[in-house]
Structure 1
Amino acid sequence: MESSFYSNREVKRLGFQSIGNNVLISKKASFYGEKNISIGDNVRIDDFCIISGNIKIGSFVHIAAYSSIFAGDSPIVINDFVNISSRVSIYGKSDDYSGESLTSPLIPDKYKNIKDESVIIEKYVIIGTGSTILPGCTLFEGSAIGAMSLITSSTKEYTIWAGIPAIYLKNRKKNLKIFMINLKSQ
C-alpha cells in the first residue's frame, strides 16, 4: 500500500535548505523556493498546504491541511512545539490596500507598495483553524490564537487572543512547559 506521505529519501530529494529527522510531508503539499526552506525534526505537513519563500520551521511542528505560509524576502520563523491548525494563512508579504498603489502579482513592482516583514512564531504557540497572521507580527512564546482570528499586531507571552481583529482575552497556563521537559527526557 502506497503512503500519502513522502518517504525519507523522497523528502531529501525535494531540495530543502535543510531537513531534520522524522519529517512527514504529504505528497499533496506544495512548496516554492525549497532552497530557502529549512525544516527541523519531528515535523508533519499535511495535505494541500502551500509553503513559499524564506521559511524556517523548527522541531515538533504540525502544519494541518489547507494551511498556507507565504514569505517574501523577510523570513517567517516557526519555532519548536508550534501547532498550526487547518486553513491557517501566514503572510510575510502583502499588498497595500489603501488605493495609493496597484495590487496584483501581475503588476510591475514600481507601481506597488509591498509590505515585506518577518513573522516570528515562538515556542509553544497554537493557532486555531481559519486564522490569518499578517506581516510584521510576532506571536510570543505560549500564545494561543482562537479559531477564525485575524492577527494584525504582536501578542504577549502566554496569552489567549481571538477575534477580527484579534484582541487579548486572558492569560494562558504554562503547564505545557512541564510536558516538554518530560518529553525531552524520554
Structure 2
Amino acid sequence: MSKLFDPGYYTEDDLQHAGFRCLGSNVRIAKNCIVIGIENIEIGNNVRIDGYSTLVAAAGHIRIGNYVHIGGYCFLSGSAGITLSDFSGLSQGVHLYSKTDDYSGKSMTNPTVPEEFTNCTSGPVHLGRHVIIGSGSVVLPNVLLDEGVAIGALTLVNKSLAAWGIYAGRPARLIKSRNRSLLLAESKLLANLI
C-alpha cells in the first residue's frame, strides 16, 4: 500500500505526550487534523477522528466519550462547550457550533471585533449516547440532542431534540421514531469487555 497520499494516524505514544486534558486508550487521530486548545480537550477510549477535522477549544472545552467516531472534515467549535457522549458519531462534514455571530446586522461580526460590538449567541452543544449526525449537518448553540437521536444529512439543528427520534430538514423536524435494538448490541459489547 502506498503511503504517498495517506498521512496516517498518530500513535498512542504521540498522543500521550500531546497535552490533552484527558486521553483514553485506543484513540486514533489523523495527522492532518487541526487541534486548537488541546489542554481543554478530553477524549475517552476507542475514539477515531478522521482527516481534515478541526477541533477548537481555545476557550471552553470539548469532551468526547467512549466509542465515538468523528468523520473527515468535521468542525467542532467548543468555546461554550461541546460534549459527545458514548457511542455518538459525526458523519463527514458535520459542524458543531457552541457560539455563533448575530447575522441580523444589529451588531458587528467575526472574532477580530471586540466583544462589546458583537452580539454572539453561545451555549453548550451536547450529544447524548447513541446520537448520530448525518453528513453536512450543522448544529447551533444551546442544543441538547437527547439519547438515540438520529439526524439526517444536510440538516440544520437549531433547537434541542427529544430522545430516540429521527430528524431531518432545515430546520430539523421529526420524521419518525428510531429503533432501540442497538441497546441490546451495546449490552453485549460491554458484557464482552468484562
1:8-30 Cα offsets, whole Å, 9 max, x none, are 11011221100000000000111
How many residues are matched?
A: 185
Alignment match, 2:164: 158
Report the Cα distance in structure 2 between the residues aligned to 1:173 and 1:156, rounded to whole angstroms: 14
Report the Cα distance in structure 2 between the residues aligned to 1:184 and 1:112, rounded to whole angstroms: 47
* Greater mean deviation of Cα atoms: 110-119 or 2-11: 2-11
Matches within 5 A, 1:28-177: 28-53=32-57, 54-72=61-79, 74-177=80-183
SS in 2 for 1:44: strand
Report the Cα distance in structure 2 between the residues aligned to 1:46 and 1:137, rounded to whole angstroms: 24
How far off its partner does 1:160 sit?
A: 0.4
How far off its partner does 1:33 sit?
A: 0.4
Letter in 1 for 2:115: D
Letter in 2 for 1:108: P
Identity level (%): 37
Does residue 25 (structure 1) correspond to residue 32 (structure 2)? The answer is no
Letter in 1 for 2:111: P
Report the Cα distance in structure 1 between the residues aligned to 2:78 and 2:68, rounded to whole angstroms: 18
How far off its partner does 1:49 sit?
A: 0.3
Does residue 4 (structure 1) correspond to residue 8 (structure 2)? The answer is yes
Normalised to the residue count of structure 1, the TM-score between the two structures is: 0.97
Structure 2 unmatched runs, 5+: none
How far off its partner does 1:77 sit?
A: 0.7
SS in 2 for 1:21: coil
Report the Cα distance in structure 2 between the residues aligned to 1:115 and 1:32, rounded to whole angstroms: 21
How far off its partner does 1:99 sit?
A: 1.2
Q: Which runs of 4+ in 1 moved over 2 A?
A: none
Report the Cα distance in structure 2 between the residues aligned to 1:127 and 1:107, rounded to whole angstroms: 32
How far off its partner does 1:75 sit?
A: 1.3
How far off its partner does 1:185 sit?
A: 1.1
CA root-mean-square deviation: 1.1
Normalised to the residue count of structure 2, the TM-score between the two structures is: 0.93
Letter in 2 for 1:84: L
